[in-house]
Structure 1
Amino acid sequence: MQAVRSRFKASLRWLILGLVLFFLIKTLKDHWQEVVAIRIDAAGYACLAIALGMTLLAHIFAGWVWSWILQTLNHSVPGAWSIKVYLQTNIAKYLPGNIWHFYGRISAATKRGIPTEIAIVSVLLEPLLMAIAALLLALIGVQQILSAYGWLAQLIPIVGLGLGLAIVHPRFLNPLIGYLAKLKQKAVGASQPMTLPMKRYPIKPLLGEIGFLGLRSLGFILTFLAIAPLPASQFAIVIAAFGLAWLTGFVIPGLPGGIGVFEAVMVALLSSGSAPLEQDFSTGELLSVVALYRFVNTLAELAGAGLVTLDDRR
């Protein structure tokens, strides 16, 4: 059964990847002339430079929020240390398997003396809080976007948000931590009572993850402004679409960094007739925006890892 499940997961991963690539390649093929006709002026390049800085700041902030998560689990660490480890390991998410950034953080935390079970829960709690934050951003304007797909589609984000808020409650997480601790004690042949570490709901880390995705969405808007004018009154809808697209790319299994999924969902949500925008944007413009934003985000992650490496050498 284990072998069957592994083959099924691998097949599902390749099927999703194939469908996403087919959609993007076909869309790009149909609108290639629109894409190559787009030009970026000096103001546009300035917007891209600010978007790069904003996105790098978002990743630095996410590293700081990880220290808040560990603090919630009664293990305080310096913010500078968590930022450094986060930026060093974040680029590893693009490796096959999409788990190596988590492994790097767990390894770094255990070397610092943090119990393995706490380190594991911290890296599990982080994506859960990010997913909840993305749903909260999506609820800003997602009801307007999903209204074209029926009432059931509008209900899904609300139900998902409720489940996410329940999962990160101490009543759920403390038994999980206790179970992991028992497994560790059994492996090493020890038996000692463990004080359940999570005393309160992780409000501060959740607000931090909302801030992280808020900065990321501002980076996306700045990238959008480099390609086409976007009225300020439409920022809320674009942020909501960003949250939904980011979450979709985040939860799809096996696709490193959500590559392809985020872009496909964003184009689908903001295409003419899908989103209640005051003005219609061509598919070529949207393709250029999502492609540029992927480049900006990847460059920001590389810059973060590079800055930490330079600091180590210094």
Structure 2
Amino acid sequence: MSMQEIYRSSVQTWESDQMGHMNVQFYLDKAQAGLATLGHYIGLGPRLLKEKGWVLTARDHHVRFLREQRPGAPFFIRGGVVEAHADHFVIYEEMVNTVSNDVAATFRAEAVLVEGATRKPLSFPKEAIAKAEEVKTEIPAHGAFRGLKMTPPRAAPTLAEAEKSGMIRTYMGEVMPDWCDAHGYMTKRHFMGVVSDSIPNLLAQTRGDDRSANTKTGGAALEYRFVYRGKPKEGDLLTLRSGLKTVTDKTYTWCHWLFDTETGEAIATAEAVAIALDLEARKSIPIPPEMKAQLEKLVIEGLGV
């Protein structure tokens, strides 16, 4: 593999959540920063993008969380190009702890080039496709799909379809100015942020849990897939519907469908594999039998990303 270092920093206290580790939205934030640097390596650096009015972004993300990262942890991200096509690049990145050299998280992205103002898709310049050979890499076993599958995205659902299926409302809110990039569009971090912020409400409505009152057990995501379908802008109203797809002895998989509240059109669809977490031992635990029985009653057939 020929991965390049594309980001280096550390986990900040304000990036941590109720579980005491870096929140999932900041993983995507740092992966996007790494993608910007990788763009430099293929001839699509920030000055050229700004001059042309272009944006390098992702249309599909797969993320695996292999080791939790707590406040103060130093890390770097390395990455490269797996495939280079005229309409999209397949990008691989991995976050590595600076001291242990353990891989903490992996990211597979289908990256696209778009007009910043309209988000109209563009073809990659031939020069970028050629330069991608200089940072060519492969996806290692630890970055491959595991609990989720790399299937073609389903047809975009509608809000009416989500409500008919029995999915529950877990988030409602406005796209805030500081959620957006220079062109006024919501960044990938905040797609994940909306889902992350919804989880306490999801658990409250499905299991009666209040995370603020439980300091011994919690949960953690092992794997996410996001398919970005819409282009929410500052001031747009969003609503999230969530439902349970599968349950096993150790994991459960949630589906999240994000919609424009006014139009009912899909903004994004996502799946997440999660585990129960012992917050004192910092280890995963089997799903308690009574919790599993309760979760199995919540499974909705036909959910997907």
TM-score in terms of structure 2 length: 0.26
Normalized per residue, which structure has more helix? 1
Normalized per residue, which structure has more strand? 2
The one of the two structures with greater contact order (alpha-carbon pairs below 8 A, sep at least 6) is 1
Larger radius of gyration: 1
